[in-house]
Structures are given as C-alpha cells and as structure tokens.
Amino acid sequence: MKISVKLAALALTLTMAGCATHQSPTGRSQMLMHSEAEMAQLGQVSFEQLKQQEKVSRDPARIAYVNCIADRITGVLPAQQWEVVLFDSPQVNAFALPGGYIGVYTGMLNVAQNEDQLAAVMGHEVAHVLARHSNEKVSRSELTGTGLQILNIGLAAYGVESAGTITQLAALGTNVFFTLPYGREQETEADIMGVELMARAGFDPAASVDLWHNMAKASEGAPPEMLSTHPSHSTRINELTAQQQSAQQYYQAAKAMNWPTCSKQK
C-alpha cells in the first residue's frame, strides 16, 4: 500500500515536472526535473540576493586576481557570459551557479594559496554547474519528498517578477545552492572534470592535491564553510593523485599557449 502511494506520487511529480533521465558528463544516469532556464533563473535570483546581503570586495588587485583565473577557466568552455564577484568575508568558501555566476570569498584566498590552487577551486565549482548537479540535487529532493517543493513555489511562474515570487525563489535558491550538500558521486565528478578544466586553462593540476590538503588542515579548527556543501571524503586526495598523469597531458599542451599571468597580490 505504502509503495503504491509512493509510486502514484512519483508518477504525478514526473508528469508535472516533465522529468527526464540524462547522462552526466562522466556517464552517470541523472534524473533532472528542471530546465536549464529554470535553474538559471534560480541562480540569478540567488546571486542577486547574495550581492545585497554580503559585502562585495572593493580591492581592485584581488578582484583582478580572481577575475583573471575565472576568465581563463571559463574561457576554455563554450561561449557564455559569467559574472564573477569577490565577497569580502572570512568565510572559506566559493561557489558557481547555473546561469553563469561565480562567487569567491576572500577567506578562500588564505586556503587556496596561489593561482593554481584557486583555479582548482573554481574548476571544481564550475564543473558542478556544467554537470547540472544543482538540478540533480533539487530533483532528488523533490522525488524523495524531503521538502524542497520547487514546483509549488513559483518556478512555473518563470518570468513573473512579483516581489513575493522573487523572495520565495531566493529562499529556495539558498536551500538548493548553499545548504543542500552535494553527493559523493557528484563530488568525484566535479573533481574529475574540474582538474581537467584547470589543466586546459594552463593551471598546474597538481595544485588540486595541495588545495585539498590545505582544506583538510583548515578543518582542524572550524571546518571551512565550503565543506558543508562539498562533503570531503577520504578518498578524494587519492583519486585526484591518480588523475594527475592524464591531467598533466592537458596542462603540458595548454602551457604552450599564451595565458595572461594571474598573480596574487598582497
């Protein structure tokens, strides 16, 4: 009885949402219930809200540093506009959102200690977007009925810019992007894709291993905020290490290109 009720609910949800099975970039099967446009809308509203809530950095040297790295990373992707903001906050955090938004907190610059390590962070974050992991997170949450009822609160009203809808979307975006953790398989996928991405942008992929060592070290005090949505797993560093040989091939090929130097300022 319980099962049939669940199935009926599932069927209803699927019908409503136009659910479809997709294949992720590394070949996993993904259940995605939302269009790219819906997720981009959610990303935009969340990013706008965050820019109002958080202090945005006015440090031109650091802004240039972060933008330099972001431009190289996104420059190896199919053309799309990416907005990059450096938030002036001690949080050890960074994120990328559907629709083309990248946020870095100044606290991250203490853990990602050079341009290659920060490129590892951004490559990982952008990979989450490319692999549509937020869509997958929210779709799973809806299918298991754990409370994120995206449909009920207004994405269907995409384009209707009433204040109430925007507020609800922003609250939903906070849940989806900044509270709900990524799954382990998503973390592995973002690592695999992110390391390739940074290497293709001319950053040394070996820095991805250094970055996660630094992140582990930083966890000995108060855990970095980034780890609340990106649960670390003990095999991550081993997997990243195993990936270095292939990543170095991308890096060596990319190094021959004429990249702008992104140097960290004091």
Minimum CB distance to Zn ion, residue 81 (Å): 23
Minimum CB distance to Zn ion, residue 186 (Å): 7
d(CA 246, CA 234): 22
User: Segment contacting Zn ion (CB under 5 A): 63-71, 79-87, 187-195, 206-214?
Assistant: 187-195
Instruction: Count the residues of the shown chain that bind Zn ion, applying the rule CB under 5 A.
Output: 4
Q: Which is nearer to Zn ion, 33 or 211 (CB)?
A: 211
**Residue 183: burial class (beta carbons within 10 Å; 0-12, 13-18, 19+):** middle
Could you tell me the two tokens for 254?
Answer: 């990319």
- List strands edge to edge, sheet with 94-97: 83-87, 101-105, 94-97
Q: Quick check: 190 binds Zn ion (CB under 5 A)?
A: yes
User: Segment contacting Zn ion (CB under 5 A): 165-173, 183-191, 200-208, 257-265?
Assistant: 183-191
Q: Which is nearer to Zn ion, 17 or 74 (CB)?
A: 74
Inter-residue contact 67 to 87 (CB < 8 Å): no
Q: Quick check: 62 binds Zn ion (CB under 5 A)?
A: no
Minimum CB distance to Zn ion, residue 56 (Å): 23
d(CA 5, CA 162): 35
* Cβ neighbours for 147, distance < 8 A, ≥ 6 positions apart: 141
Minimum CB distance to Zn ion, residue 133 (Å): 8
Q: Which of 125, 136, 189, 196 is catalytic?
A: 125
Minimum CB distance to Zn ion, residue 91 (Å): 15
User: Segment contacting Zn ion (CB under 5 A): 42-50, 164-172, 176-184, 257-265?
Assistant: 176-184
User: Segment contacting Zn ion (CB under 5 A): 11-19, 22-30, 195-203, 226-234?
Assistant: 226-234
Closest CA to 188 of 254, 242, 146: 242
Q: Quick check: 230 binds Zn ion (CB under 5 A)?
A: yes
* Cβ neighbours for 171, distance < 8 A, ≥ 6 positions apart: none
Q: Is 125 a catalytic residue?
A: yes
Inter-residue contact 148 to 176 (CB < 8 Å): yes
**Residue ranges in contact with Zn ion by CB under 5 A:** 182, 187, 190, 230
Report the catalytic residues. 125
